[in-house]
Amino acid sequence: MAEMTKPFWPKSYLLPPSLARAALAFSLVIGQVGDARAKVLRNKTASPTVLVFKGADELRRFNELASSAANSDAVDPLLACRVPQGSGIQVLGSGYRTAFVKVIDGPALGCQGTVPIGRVQDQ
């Protein structure tokens, strides 16, 4: 019969299961509330809309097209949606240059896509 080993920590240091579950739930709530600052999309130009791209590759292609003065027919296939300035968003992920966002209010509700990180601002 195998010999039982003693745990590294004494039994008196363990939390009762109900208290451990409550502590875990509390820490999850605090983590979500701590990052609940409202974010909005803002454009640096006078345009009434902000362009949300399908992905980072489409944003890169748009930047290439913008330098060659392409028309809007060439831009539309790259877009996930166009949203009004000040539309509320949830940032799903961000990097050094771009952010992946989900629109949470307005006519483009539910639209997800990539925007330049400078377009994401605090409300």
Encode 8-43: b = buried (16+ Cβ within 10 Å), e = exposed: eeeeeeeeeeeeeeeeeeeeeeeeeeeeeeebbbeb
Cβ count within 10 A of residue 122: 8
For 93, list phi and psi in degrees, rounded to 5: -175, 150
More confident residue, 91 or 29: 91
Residue in 7, 14, 82 with CA at minimum distance from that of residue 43: 82
Q: Give the tens place of pLDDT for each residue, 59-105.
A: 999 988 877 766 778 889 999 999 999 999 999 999 899 999 999 99
Retrieve residue 4's tokens.
């039982």
Q: Where are the domains of the chain?
A: 39-122
- pTM for the predicted model, two decimal places: 0.68
Cβ count within 10 A of residue 98: 21
More confident residue, 84 or 17: 84
Stated length of the chain: 123
- Measured CA to CA, the distance from residue 78 to residue 73 in angstroms comes to 10
Give the pLDDT confidence score for residue 113 in this predicted structure: 96
Q: Give the tens place of pLDDT for each residue, 34-62.
A: 445 679 999 888 889 999 999 999 999 99
